[in-house]
């Protein structure tokens, strides 16, 4: 696992700010409702944007001779202040065209005032303002580091909005919502930071005031305000306030505070007496206030509320991800550079780490400096004298994901000192290429000048604690260290098991045929088609995995009965109402692509199992086509009635079967080659192809798909694989 500087920064920033960020987000959500609650008031009038001062001011002066000020607020409500005909104080919202009073300003909501104070200063004045400003700045940095993490994760800026691989709920939605709310959160953070800097005078915005040359003030020609050029030009939407002349003396003038400048106007001639632009900093402060509060636009206010809600979700999901990661992480006491014993692990599902950690613990307890890491993290180990490689094998003898870069890294980094090495392969005799990757690693080490083999390669079948114990004893002896890794402690399973009851099972007439077995899950069991069911046939460390089809609410497996096969034999001997202990392994990368409108499902043999469930679970939105391969019609017969029903219900659009031992003797590959135009169209129109079955079928089909893609779409199949349009679960 590559823990980047961005992830550390993202986490460190989140940890240092999450309490204040939570408070600012909650109060931010509440405050977003303030502009919304104001905007529904009925004080906005039609033609507001077109109404000029020339239309409004004469009307108002006539109706309210004692008017002193007109203000236009962010809701575009026009308010006047002054006194009425009886000399009483007047403050009201008016219709700027008729001067009619529309209502009176209500006192400010105490609740919103209280929340605003909390949001701005935590009720601790300047200290609070500083802390809130700092939080906004940290949020800005979190947003930047989060963006970098998404770019890294998606492998490039151009792929920023492509499909996200789903590991778990928290991780998936952290990234999905992160991408969606990135811009609003960035704006909230940037505007909040700016406002704080302005508040503390770090960004200065000097006050401007108009300098009027009183000697130059003229008292003629006398004009009607309706004819003043400036009044005819300026509309209400450009106005913040208009201060009316205090008396009728020519020395008293109109002061227009516009959005971008302040202008004073001779009340008799309409001449402009002074005009001064606001400093850029002041304009930016206004803009940032608009952006931060949503006061000018109801839709933006709603976006701000949703984005603030998302910040709360990010705090939760970010910590959930961190705790999960830390729970799985290797806890190293010594660094790679200072350790004498280096343990390199290649693991897909994590069990090999259990073995590695057991050895690591023992070495540390024996006072040795030891370091565990993934094979991909191979580097120079200056103090190393012993290296242990524990590597699982996947696919057709392939490395696990965390070891794919190992060979290149090994070439790149030469060790400065001789190092004794020992390789332990983890695999299963159930696969043709038993521990193949470990053998490759052993060969690669043997070619290194600095590498001295300390033991022959050892293999561990099916995570056997005994076999591992044998290696541990031999290695400890030649390395001259104490190593007491007990088979019992290694055999203990960490994950909780779940009991399932057999509902029904079909029968076979001979080994080599397949049967269907269905289990009843309890209501709280969370699974879907494509997940895996782990069973423990001998109630020991040996685990067998089967692809799940969710049919109705049951877990349905399709199993080929192998002569003497540990898992298949065990399952076949179960009867209705038998109860077994199992574990459901999430397999998110092979779930049905909910958004795809067209899906081609390809299987051979028992690989049809997850598709039976996916088709059964389907609504009618997606166009599903099934291409499946069997030996003969008899092998297909156990699935026939379910598939016929799916065809009748239109859950399945079409079925294409290849029989390899009957009729035309075809394989699924041949059917796909026949329908290559349709296959290419599906990929081009963002459809998805899913493969489940044997690895040889996978290799054949992928080679064909690659040819089709290159010939018809001008791209390699890897392009569609990396865009989540080709999903595979073969074994």
Ligand X SMILES: Cc1cc2nc3c(=O)[nH]c(=O)nc-3n(C[C@H](O)[C@H](O)[C@H](O)COP(=O)(O)O)c2cc1C
In the complex, the residues that contact ligand X under the rule CB under 6 A are 347-352, 392-395, 397, 400, 426-428, 431, 433-436, 463, 545, 731
Helix (H) or strand (E) segment spanning residue 659: strand 654-659
Q: Of 259, 303, 217, whose CA–CA distance to 32 is shortest?
A: 303
Q: Of 96, 109, 111, 103, whose CA–CA distance to 41 is shortest?
A: 103
Structure-token pair, residue 697:
């079928």
Structure-token pair, residue 466:
């005994």
Q: How far is the CB of 505 from ligand X (least distance, A)?
A: 23
Q: Percentages helix, strand, coil for the chain, rounded to the nearest 5?
A: 45, 20, 35
Q: How far is the CB of 317 from ligand X (least distance, A)?
A: 26
Q: How far is the CB of 395 from ligand X (least distance, A)?
A: 6
Nearer to ligand X, 28 or 397 (CB): 397
Q: Of 708, 729, 694, whose CA–CA distance to 614 is shortest?
A: 729
CA dist 69 to 65, 96, 251, 255, 664, Å? 11, 13, 17, 9, 93
Nearer to ligand X, 36 or 695 (CB): 695
Helices 5-39 and 125-153 sit at what angle, rounded to 10 degrees? 120
Q: How far is the CB of 417 from ligand X (least distance, A)?
A: 29
Q: How far is the CB of 392 from ligand X (least distance, A)?
A: 3
For the chain, what's the residue count?
731
Structure letter (DSSP) for residue 709 = I
Nearer to ligand X, 144 or 545 (CB): 545
Nearer to ligand X, 1 or 85 (CB): 1
How far apart (Å, rounded) are the C-alpha atoms in residues 251 and 451? 96
Could you identify the residue written with the tokens 């460390």? 541
> Do 601 and 624 contact (CB within 8 A), yes or no?
yes
Q: What residues form DSSP beta bridges with 52?
A: 235
Q: How far is the CB of 193 from ligand X (least distance, A)?
A: 46
Could you identify the residue written with the tokens 């299987």? 603
Nearer to ligand X, 72 or 534 (CB): 534
What is the number of the residue whose Cβ is closest to ligand X?
427
Nearer to ligand X, 397 or 605 (CB): 397
Q: How far is the CB of 390 from ligand X (least distance, A)?
A: 8
> Do 294 and 285 contact (CB within 8 A), yes or no?
no
Residue 74 burial (10 A CB sphere; 0-12, 13-18, 19+): middle
Q: Of 628, 594, 622, whose CA–CA distance to 609 is shortest?
A: 628
Q: How far is the CB of 357 from ligand X (least distance, A)?
A: 12
Q: How far is the CB of 346 from ligand X (least distance, A)?
A: 8
How far apart (Å, rounded) are the C-alpha atoms in residues 648 and 158? 43
How far apart (Å, rounded) are the C-alpha atoms in residues 164 and 179? 11
Q: How far is the CB of 403 from ligand X (least distance, A)?
A: 10
Nearer to ligand X, 210 or 545 (CB): 545
The DSSP bridge pattern shows strands 598-604 and 272-277 to be unpaired
The DSSP bridge pattern shows strands 451-453 and 386-392 to be unpaired
Q: How far is the CB of 198 from ligand X (least distance, A)?
A: 55
**φ, ψ at 193 (rounded to 5°):** -65, -45
How far apart (Å, rounded) are the C-alpha atoms in residues 452 and 116? 69
Nearer to ligand X, 20 or 391 (CB): 391
The per-residue DSSP string of 175-212 comes to: HHHHHHHHHHHHHHHHHHHHHHHHHTTSS---------
Radius of gyration of the chain (CA): 37
Structure-token pair, residue 201:
């005078």
How far apart (Å, rounded) are the C-alpha atoms in residues 394 and 403? 11
How far apart (Å, rounded) are the C-alpha atoms in residues 248 and 61? 12
Sheet holding 598-604, edge to edge: 654-659, 623-630, 598-604, 688-693, 726-730
Nearer to ligand X, 313 or 431 (CB): 431
465's CB contacts (< 8 A; 6+ apart) are 487, 488, 490, 491, 541
How far apart (Å, rounded) are the C-alpha atoms in residues 149 and 170? 15
Q: Of 205, 325, 236, 260, whose CA–CA distance to 57 is shortest?
A: 236
**φ, ψ at 420 (rounded to 5°):** -85, 135
Q: How far is the CB of 540 from ligand X (least distance, A)?
A: 14
Q: How far is the CB of 335 from ligand X (least distance, A)?
A: 24
Structure-token pair, residue 434:
């038993």
Nearer to ligand X, 616 or 729 (CB): 729
Q: How far is the CB of 125 from ligand X (least distance, A)?
A: 57
Q: How far is the CB of 458 from ligand X (least distance, A)?
A: 13
Nearer to ligand X, 301 or 701 (CB): 701
How far apart (Å, rounded) are the C-alpha atoms in residues 166 and 495? 21
Q: How far is the CB of 285 from ligand X (least distance, A)?
A: 57
Q: What residues form DSSP beta bridges with 505?
A: 517
Nearer to ligand X, 543 or 616 (CB): 543
SS3 251: coil
Nearer to ligand X, 345 or 451 (CB): 345
Q: How far is the CB of 450 from ligand X (least distance, A)?
A: 27
> Do 319 and 326 contact (CB within 8 A), yes or no?
no
Nearer to ligand X, 360 or 436 (CB): 436
Nearer to ligand X, 26 or 585 (CB): 585
Q: How far is the CB of 310 from ligand X (least distance, A)?
A: 35
Angle at 171 between CA 169 and CA 176, to 5 degrees: 90
Q: Of 147, 180, 120, whose CA–CA distance to 303 is shortest?
A: 180
């Amino acid at each position: 696992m590559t823990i980047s500087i961005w992830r550390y920064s993202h986490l460190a920033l989140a940890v240092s700010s999450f309490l204040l960020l939570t408070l600012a987000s909650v109060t931010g959500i509440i405050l977003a409702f303030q502009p919304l609650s104001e905007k529904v008031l009925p004080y906005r009038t039609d033609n507001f944007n077109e109404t000029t001062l020339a239309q409004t001011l004469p009307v108002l002066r006539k109706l309210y001779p004692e008017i002193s000020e007109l203000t236009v607020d962010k809701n575009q409500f026009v308010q006047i202040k002054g006194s009425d005909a009886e000399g009483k104080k007047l403050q009201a919202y008016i219709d700027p065209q008729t001067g009619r009073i529309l209502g009176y300003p209500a006192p400010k909501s105490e609740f919103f005032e209280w929340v605003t104070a909390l949001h701005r200063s935590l009720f601790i004045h300047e200290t609070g303002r500083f802390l809130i400003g700092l939080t906004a700045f940290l949020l800005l940095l979190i947003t930047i580091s989060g963006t970098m993490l998404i770019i890294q994760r998606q492998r490039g800026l151009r792929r920023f909005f492509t499909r996200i691989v789903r590991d778990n709920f928290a991780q998936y939605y952290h990234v999905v919502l992160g991408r969606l709310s990135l811009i609003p959160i960035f704006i909230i953070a940037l505007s909040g930071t700016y406002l704080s800097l302005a508040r503390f005078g770090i960004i200065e915005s000097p006050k401007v005031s108009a300098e009027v040359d009183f000697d130059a003030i003229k008292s003629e020609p006398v004009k009607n305000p309706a004819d003043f050029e400036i009044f005819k030009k300026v509309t209400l939407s450009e106005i913040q306030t208009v201060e009316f002349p205090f008396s009728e003396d020519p020395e008293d003038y109109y002061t227009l505070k516009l959005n971008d400048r302040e202008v004073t106007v001779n009340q008799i001639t309409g001449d402009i007496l002074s005009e001064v632009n606001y400093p850029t900093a002041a304009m930016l402060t206004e803009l940032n206030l608009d952006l931060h509060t949503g006061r000018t636009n109801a839709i933006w206010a709603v976006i701000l509320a949703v984005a603030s809600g998302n910040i709360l979700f990010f705090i939760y999901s970010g910590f959930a991800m961190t705790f999960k990661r830390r729970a799985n992480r290797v806890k190293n006491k010594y660094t790679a550079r200072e350790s004498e014993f280096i343990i390199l692990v290649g693991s897909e599902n994590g069990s090999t780490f259990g073995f590695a950690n057991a050895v690591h613990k023992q070495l540390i307890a024996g006072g040795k400096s030891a370091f565990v890491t993934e094979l991909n993290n191979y580097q120079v180990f200056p103090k190393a004298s012993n290296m242990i490689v524990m590597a699982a094998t996947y696919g057709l003898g392939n490395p696990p994901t965390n070891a794919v870069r190992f060979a290149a890294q090994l070439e790149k980094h030469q060790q400065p000192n001789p190092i004794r090495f020992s390789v332990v392969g983890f695999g299963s005799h159930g696969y043709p290429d038993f521990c193949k990757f470990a053998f490759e690693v052993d060969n690669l080490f043997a070619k290194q000048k600095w590498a001295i083999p300390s033991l022959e390669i050892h293999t561990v079948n099916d995570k056997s604690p005994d076999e591992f114990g044998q290696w541990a004893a031999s290695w400890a002896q030649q390395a001259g260290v104490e190593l007491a890794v007990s088979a019992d402690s290694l055999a203990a399973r960490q994950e909780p098991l779940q009991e399932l009851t057999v509902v029904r099972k079909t029968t076979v007439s001979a080994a080599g045929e397949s049967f269907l077995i269905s289990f009843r899950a309890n209501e709280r069991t969370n699974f879907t088609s494509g997940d895996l069911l782990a069973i423990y046939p001998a109630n020991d460390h040996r685990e067998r995995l089967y692809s799940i089809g969710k049919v109705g609410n049951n877990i349905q497996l399709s199993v080929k009965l192998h002569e003497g096969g540990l898992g298949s034999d065990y399952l076949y001997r179960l009867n209705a109402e038998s109860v077994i202990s199992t574990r459901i392994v999430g397999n998110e990368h092979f779930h049905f692509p909910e958004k795809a409108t067209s899906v081609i499902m390809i299987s051979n043999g028992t690989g049809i199992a997850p598709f039976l469930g996916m088709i059964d679970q389907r609504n009618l939105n997606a166009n599903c086509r099934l291409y499946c391969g069997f030996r003969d019609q008899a092998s297909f017969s156990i699935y026939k009635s379910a598939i016929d029903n799916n065809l009748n219900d239109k859950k399945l659009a079409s079925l294409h079967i290849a029989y390899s031992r009957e009729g035309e003797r075809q394989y699924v590959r041949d059917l796909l080659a026949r329908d290559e135009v349709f296959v290419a169209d599906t990929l081009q129109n963002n459809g998805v192809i899913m493969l489940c079955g044997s690895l040889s079928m996978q290799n054949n089909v992928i080679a064909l798909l690659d040819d089709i893609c290159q010939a018809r779409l001008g791209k390699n199949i890897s392009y569609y694989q990396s865009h989540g349009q080709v999903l595979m679960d073969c074994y």
